Amino acid sequence: MALILGIESSCDETAAALVTHDRRILAHRLAGQEAAHRPFGGVVPEIAARAHVEMAMPLVEAALADAGVTLADVDAIAATAGPGLIGGVMVGLMTGKALAHAAGKPLIAVNHLEGHALSPRLADPDLAFPYMLLLASGGHCQLLLVRGVGDYARLATTIDDAAGEAFDKTAKLLGLGFPGGPAVEAAARMGDPKAVPLPRPLLGTNEPHFSFAGLKSAVLRARDSGRYRAEDIAASFQQAVVDCLIDRTRRQLESHPHITALVVAGGVAANGPIRAALAELAGRQGVAFAAPPLWLCTDNGAMIAWAGAERFALGLTDDMAAPARARWPLDPTAEKARGAGVKA
Ligand code: KG4
Ligand code: ZN
């Protein structure tokens, strides 16, 4: 059974994992960089790239030791080749290329978004193509039809901020700390989701896309009004995000009646109320619901190894010229969404 080494370094997590094509996770190691970025309230690309340089090889070695294997036992080496912070992507991809070259193994240049998109299939052997995917992370918020490995149709994207970005900015505005998503979720548990009237951008419109920038501005105004507790703003913000995600996703499920499963992936999929609301929506629409376990939602090496395993099984390997890419859409045919800057 093919054994794949996966390396992830596209944002602020360095990770290495060993996964088999029959879904055994033999090892997964991860080094976060929260402490290094916390003083700046966000990820600093240069600090991230340097940390990846320090951590990539030790994590690979630790993962190999955990699994009790050597590079010679590995069938292919998968590394994130984008999209992401280019310095970090280059570090992970170069590490993968060097190992592949030294060990004489094939290289698989993995799209980080494909890692998220396929991660539910690592957790759930019964999840078959096609499925509808809500991919919500720090850099993306998209609805996609996942028709197969490497075969994606983008149905909707954000025209401004990503969902995770909105969580991170809200946390910063409310002084809840970094990383923002878990901090907002924790504060929201102690707040009233109805306390603060906040907008639901694009809700109920014919426009398929997402928008979160107006929500963030409304959070700023609510904070500056001095009328609300941070916990109430956090809870109301989270509820507004839930409402927008549900409205947009329901719209796509209704117009794609042949789709039988709704899947959520990406860091924002770690959010309890968002998972619960999507599960409920799936139930109402009569489709199955799948979400990876929490540790597999946020960036990790196992999802990259798994995407590598899926590609390797189809004979999809890459040569040493595979480039590191800051941008790399899953659906290259998708039109730029109105108002979208760099997020499509
Ligand atoms: O997928 P991911 O780990 O990295 C990217 O590829 O972006 O996603 C990170 C994003 C961050 O914006 C983070 O705040 C958000 O996911 N996130 C959450 C939660 N955990 C992580 N957002 C809401 N609730 C959470 N519990
Ligand atoms: Zn990610």
Identify the CATH number of the domain defined by range 3-117+299-313: 3.30.420.40
Protein residues within 5 Å, CB atom, of ion ligand 2: 137, 299
Q: Specify the pLDDT at position 342.
A: 43
**Residue 270 near ligand 1, beta carbon < 6 Å:** yes
Locate the ligand 1 atom nearest the alpha carbon of residue 299 and give its number: 3
- The residue contributing the CA closest to ligand 1 atom 19 is 181
Answer yes or no: is pLDDT of 11 > 90: yes
- Residue 53 identity: V
Ligand 1 mean position to 273 CA, how many Å? 14
Answer yes or no: is pLDDT of 341 > 70: no
Task: For residue 205, name the pLDDT band (cuts at 50, 70, 90).
Answer: confident
CA nearest to 110, candidates 294, 265, 263, 310: 310
308 Cβ contact list (under 8 Å, min separation 6): 4, 5, 6, 19, 76, 77, 78, 108, 110
**Residue 137 near ligand 1, beta carbon < 6 Å:** yes
Q: Is the peptide bond before 257 cis (omega within 30 degrees of 0)?
A: no
Opening angle at CA 8, ends 12 and 126, nearest 5: 120
**Residue 298 near ligand 1, beta carbon < 6 Å:** yes
Locate the ligand 1 atom nearest the alpha carbon of residue 116 and give its number: 1
CB 172 within 8 A of CB 230: no
DSSP 20: E
**Residue 182 near ligand 1, beta carbon < 6 Å:** yes
Q: Specify the pLDDT at position 340.
A: 53
Locate the ligand 1 atom nearest the alpha carbon of residue 162 and give its number: 12
Q: How far is CA 182 from CA 188, 269, 298, in A?
A: 10, 11, 11
**Residue 268 near ligand 1, beta carbon < 6 Å:** yes
The mean of the pLDDT values for the chain is: 95
Ligand 2 mean position to 141 CA, how many Å? 11
CA atoms within 13 A on the CB side of 29: 17
Answer yes or no: is pLDDT of 98 > 90: yes
Identify the CATH number of the domain defined by range 126-295: 3.30.420.40
CB atoms within 10 A of CB 336: 12
> Are domains 3-117+299-313 and 126-295 of this chain identical in fold?
yes
**318 pairs with which residues across the strands?**
107
Ligand 1 mean position to 267 CA, how many Å? 3
Ligand 1 mean position to 164 CA, how many Å? 5
What confidence tens digit (pLDDT) does each residue in 105-147 have?
A: 999 999 999 999 999 999 999 999 999 999 999 999 999 999 9
- The residue contributing the CA closest to ligand 1 atom 18 is 181
**Residue 299 near ligand 1, beta carbon < 6 Å:** yes
> What are residue 247's phi and psi, to 5 degrees?
-60, -45
Q: Specify the pLDDT at position 339.
A: 59
Sheet containing 288-290: give its strands across: 151-156, 141-148, 131-136, 261-265, 288-290
- Residue 95 identity: T
CB 32 within 8 A of CB 13: yes
Q: Specify the pLDDT at position 42.
A: 82
What does the alpha-carbon distance between residue 101 and residue 140 come to, in Å, rounded to a whole number?
32
CA nearest to 229, candidates 178, 264, 189: 189
CB 13 within 8 A of CB 31: yes
CA atoms within 13 A on the CB side of 4: 31
- Domain segments of the chain: what residues? 3-117+299-313, 126-295
Using DSSP's 3-state secondary structure scheme, residue 88 falls into helix
CB 56 within 8 A of CB 95: yes
CA nearest to 73, candidates 3, 14, 19, 137: 3
Task: For residue 253, name the pLDDT band (cuts at 50, 70, 90).
Answer: very high
**Residue 138 near ligand 1, beta carbon < 6 Å:** yes
**142 pairs with which residues across the strands?**
135
Ligand 2 mean position to 226 CA, how many Å? 35
Residue with tokens 């499920």: 253
What does the alpha-carbon distance between residue 151 and residue 130 come to, in Å, rounded to a whole number?
10
Its pTM stands at 0.94
What confidence tens digit (pLDDT) does each residue in 51-96 have?
A: 999 999 999 999 999 999 999 999 999 999 999 999 999 999 999 9
